[in-house]
Amino acid sequence: MTTAPAVRFLDRTTPPHIVTLILLAGVSALTMSIFLPSLSGMAVYFGVDYAVMQLAVSGYLATTAVLQVVIGPVSDRYGRRPVTLAALGIFIAATLGAMLAPTAAVFLFFRMFQGAVVTGIVLSRAIVRDMVPQEQAASKIGYVTMGMALVPMVGPMIGGALDQAFGWQAVFGFLALCGAGVLLLSLADQGETLASGGMGFREQVRTWPELLRSPRFWGYTICTAFASGAFFAFLGGASFVAQDIYGLNAFWTGVALGAPAVGYATGNFLSGRFSVAVGMNRMILLGVLATTFGLGLSLLLTVTGLGNAWTFFLLVTFMGLGNGMTLPNATAGLLGVRPHLAGTASGLGGAMMIGGGAALSALAGAVLSVESGSWPLQAIMLVSTLFSGVAIAYVIRRERQLGIPA
């Protein structure tokens, strides 16, 4: 068995330390969530509708969807280290541009360039695969994912506190400092791990038909797209619900927005503990059922006049719980449909998942109003979850037809 290369912290002649990889992925997760408590206030600051400012979520997601397809092949050609450093440099410049933006249009322009930071998530996993044998990679990636899971819990709280104390610009100043810190750490610690060139973008495109002809690949991909779509819709509308409908201040909005992350961490633990014994598809189905229960009850309470901020944000933890069980297993499923095309499946499936999430996030921002209350957002999340259930039911039926063990 191949042994992992020696790692020395802050020695760029060796592969990066796990702490560096966690922070690379973490700053990307932080960029997604930290400014959410500021969205409503930023709409007022720039004098635009909430739906316009919500493009900072949906447009960002669309940008990262495209980047997920190309980052891997680009880093296969030029190396993990230079691509990581270049992406962090672009991110820092874009963050400062967003902080100093005089108009909403200028802010959104720089916000799209912030999407370069998704390189941290994509390449932290690729670097792990470079460093250790396949049988050890899942464990190492698990550590990176566990570190990332903490960020959505604390990111909105930090952002809400900074906004309330100093204004929304302080949130982006904090992000720029985080990006600069991770850039300095990567300069000092991240040695190159790419031993040989991987599959280029053209070669990946040539493998797409083989994947796209697989009904099981489509089933798992649609399942992940709609399961995560419920969460992305939440990201697009929850700040408006918290502040404009329920009257929470920026700090408590940040606390409320961390609710799904608590459930997601629990769901991830359950996946790691029970997926082998229960079975991947059954675990996905249980996750869908957990999400459906929480979101269905939340919508029912709202339409009967019994809903409030507590019921909305406490019950949305069931969505996090369900996605924590659904997404790891559905992702493993789409990667396993054609094992020799796992890299292509990861990029293509990830792009479809986040692209669909961008559309649902934009829809959530567009349909919400103070007059409507929170129910349109709850309905979008519930319907999206039901579609993910239909998709996994199709996969289960297809695998029975093919004689694949459950």
User: pLDDT tens, 155-170?
Assistant: 888 999 999 999 999 9
List all residues 6 or more positions away from 243 whose beta carbon is below 8 Å from its beta carbon: 37, 40, 41, 249, 250, 253
Least-confidence region, from 16-20, 56-60, 271-275, 306-310: 271-275
Domain spans, the chain:
8-187, 200-406
Q: Name which of 86, 60, 290 is nearest 183 in CA terms.
A: 86
Task: Give the number of other CB atoms < 10 A from CB of residue 175.
Answer: 27
Per-residue model confidence as pLDDT tens digits over 105-122: 999 999 999 999 988 888
Rounded mean pLDDT of 338-366? 79
Looking at residue 1, its pLDDT comes to 43
Segment 299-306 shows an average pLDDT of 94
* Alpha-carbon span 185 to 201, nearest angstrom: 29
Of residues 370, 264, 268, the one with CA closest to residue 328: 268
Q: Which fold has domain 200-406?
A: Growth Hormone; Chain: A; (1.20.1250)
Q: Confidence class of residue 378 from pLDDT cuts 50, 70 and 90?
A: very high
Residue range 8-187 forms a domain whose CATH class is mainly alpha
What DSSP letter does each residue of 26-78 carry, written as one string? HHHHHHHHTTGGGHHHHHHHHT--HHHHTHHHHHHHHHHHHHHHHHHHHHHHH
Query: Quick check: 317 pLDDT over 90?
Result: yes
| CA separation for the pair 145, 141 (Å, rounded) | 6
Distance CA 3, CA 160 (A): 45
Whether 8-187 and 200-406 share one fold: the answer is yes
Distance CA 52, CA 42 (A): 10
Residue 280 main-chain phi, psi, to 5 deg: -60, -50
Residue 171: pLDDT band with limits 50, 70, 90: very high
pLDDT number for residue 402: 79
Q: Mean pLDDT over residues 22-26, rounded?
A: 87
The residues, any chain, with a CB within 8 Å of residue 322's CB and separated by 6 or more, are: 227, 263, 267, 286, 287, 288, 289, 290, 291, 292, 294, 385
